[in-house]
Amino acid sequence: MPAGELGLFTIEVNGPQYQTACCSDAEVLFISMALGDSEYYLEVCVMQTVVENKRGWALRDVIFLAIIAIFFGVIYQLWGASYYFLSATPLKPYANDMTIGVWLMAGPLAGVLLQKFGATTIGEVLPAVVEMLLFSSWGAATLIYGFVQGIGSELGFAITGYKNWSKLGLSLSVLTSTIVTFAWDMVNSGYMAYKPGMLITLFVIRLISVGLFAGVLVYLINALVAKSGLMKR
């Protein structure tokens, strides 16, 4: 536990109770001590506040979310030009899947940086809000897309029980976000009209796009932030 995080322990030795300050991550610790022919059992109960403080949201987390929201909100708005550019070429049928990876970066980045339940979804929705406020051509639908993309990304980390925020968690997040957003476009964007061969091609293109931007690039950014010490825990 980092210095300064003290837990209040209640130590019980055959009846009498004493209190002391100590550092520990455990909630309940049992210590058995043998002294001569007698055994004394010390039950050390760590107050829940220590664990809750470590798992709760800090001001730093909120600040990082705000930075991510503003930065990616602007990036998302600008990135829309790449979609419209490709849509004006013979690559139009593939434009959405080729460019979607960038629109899925904010959520996983927020997740791996903050490592908290819901951070991935919030980290994707907030930039969508900023993008909408910057007069996104998709209007209020941007919020729906942001929510769907956030849930899709969050599922990958949820599969690990929110215990793996590195390569495994990111890889699963890439896979689940690709599946969820593709399913959404099947219903919402007319993908149902495509033949199976085209659907497979679009899915593979989307998986590559999401893997590069929301997987590899997010992993590298997280590594740089970790080296900088900004998110030191």
Q: With the C-alpha atoms ordered 195, 183, 75, 226, is the resulting torsion angle positive or negative?
A: negative
Nearest in space to 171 (alpha carbons), one of 227, 214, 115: 214
Q: Are 22 and 9 in contact (CB under 8 A)?
A: yes
- pLDDT for residue 204: 98
- Predicted confidence (pLDDT) at residue 3 exceeds the cutoff of 60: no
Extents of the domains making up the chain: 7-52, 57-228
Using pLDDT thresholds of 50, 70 and 90, give the confidence band for residue 13: very low
pLDDT (tens digit per residue) in 43-102: 333 333 333 334 688 998 999 999 999 999 999 999 999 999 999 999 999 999 999 999
β-pair partners for 34:
39
Please give the residue that has the higher pLDDT: either 205 or 46: 205
Question: What is the distance between the alpha carbons of residues 85 and 7, in angstroms, rounded to a whole number?
Answer: 57
Sheet architecture: strand order including 7-13: 17-22, 7-13, 38-46, 28-35
Phi, psi torsion values for 228, nearest 5 degrees: -70, -20
pLDDT (tens digit per residue) in 124-177: 999 999 999 998 888 889 999 999 999 999 999 999 999 999 999 999 999 999
End-to-end CA distance of the chain: 9
The arithmetic mean of pLDDT across residues 217-229, rounded, is 94
DSSP string of the chain? Answer: --TT--EEEEEEESS-EEEEEE--S-SEEEEEEEETTEEEEEEEEE-HHHHHHHHS--HHHHHHHHHHHHHHHHHHHHHHHHHHHHHTSTTGGGHHHHHHHHHTSHHHHHHHHH--TTHHHHHHHHHHHHHHHTT-TTTTHHHHHHHHHHHHHHHHHHHTTS---SHHHHHHHHHHHHHHHHHHHHHHSSGGGS-HHHHHHHHHHHHHHHIIIIIIIHHHHHHHHHHHTTT--
